[in-house]
Amino acid sequence: MADQIEELALLETLDHLLDRGVVIAGEAVISIGDVDLLYLGLNIVLANVDAIIRTSQK
Amino acid sequence: MKRVVIGAHLRREDIEPLADAIRVGEIFLSGVMVADDQPLSDRDLLLRVARTRAALLDRGTFIAIRYGLAVTNEHDAASKCAAHLSRWRALLDAHSNEVEVTLKIAVASPQKRPDRHDFKLGADYLRALYAARDAATVDERFRAAAEHALSEATRRRWLHRDEASLELAALVPRDRLEACFAAAADLKARFPHIPFLFSGPWPLEVFADADHE
């Protein structure tokens, strides 16, 4: 039970770190694994950068 | 070396020695120093930033910068944040004695998340995502009780997080934090069938984000 509470607290902390607060335009690109992820202002990961580049090149 | 930015603060002494202080105009950014080639997705770095962020909040209220901003020096920081500085200063002056808390609630009937394969246009897919998110609701009695539980708040705002959850964010005076946790415990006892998570204190996140204004 204590482990579950600790895990929940960690998840909530990471959720706030990654998904809240002021977004500085053009700076919110992070990578997870080998995939670059682009954060937009509305708090969800919308698309990966490779996909956007591929689409823009078509 | 670069610094991963954590927040914007009124005073240098609220930052050092827990983190590096970077002056930008009349305020200071807090940052964690890392090597230039350090990936921001590094697990240990994430945890280090999360721990530092929590420790900084004990020193004073600050504006949270979403994880992902890195700066190389004061000039770089000032140029990237220039558009925000006067607004941040005003927010810090207005809310220096307050912190955020959040009540995250699982909705009773979550909407089905749209399948991206069902859409030809990305814009239509996004619209469907937002529609599913915004259609999420919670029991009206619980909603009223939650607002009452956070009646100590100076500001409150309901946020649609995704198709399965809603969130009530509130700005509360630091000295009323304990009363808010007691009210949340009471809420849990009165509505045992509604899953929710009350958490805090957090820095200025929702109430500093212009997207939510």
Distance CA B131, CA B111 (A): 9
Provide, as residue numbers in chain A, all residues whose Cβ is less than 8 Å from the Cβ of B123: none
Q: Say if the Cβ atoms of A30 and B41 lie within 8 Å.
A: yes
What is the predicted ipTM?
A: 0.80
Provide, as residue numbers in chain B, all residues whose Cβ is less than 8 Å from the Cβ of A9: 199
Domain boundaries, chain A: 23-58
Question: pLDDT for B5-32, tens place per residue?
Answer: 999 999 999 999 999 999 999 999 999 9
Amino acid at A33: G
Distance CA B31, CA A24 (A): 15
Size of chain A, expressed as the number of residues it contains: 58
In the block, which residue shows the tokens 């934090």?
A: B177
Q: Say if the Cβ atoms of B68 and A39 lie within 8 Å.
A: yes
Q: Say if the Cβ atoms of A30 and B67 lie within 8 Å.
A: yes
User: For chain B, how long is the longest CA-to-CA vector?
Assistant: 53
Instruction: Look at strands B63-64 and B2-9 and give their pairing.
Output: antiparallel
pTM over 0.95: no
For the record, the structure tokens of B144 come out as 């009223």
B138 alpha-carbon distance from chain centroid? 21
For the record, the structure tokens of B172 come out as 């509360």
Q: Which residues of A13-26 are buried (b: 16+ CB within 10 A; e: fewer)?
A: beebbbebbbbbee
Measured in degrees and rounded to the nearest 5, phi and psi for residue B36 equal -60, -35
Size of chain B, expressed as the number of residues it contains: 213
**Contact of B30 with B19, CB cutoff 8 Å:** yes
Question: pLDDT for B64-122, tens place per residue?
Answer: 998 888 999 999 999 989 989 999 999 999 999 999 999 999 887 777 888 888 888 88
Measured in degrees and rounded to the nearest 5, phi and psi for residue B61 equal -70, 140
Residue A33: the pLDDT is 56
- Ordered by where they begin, the domains of chain B are 2-94 (no CATH), 98-212 (3.30.70.260)
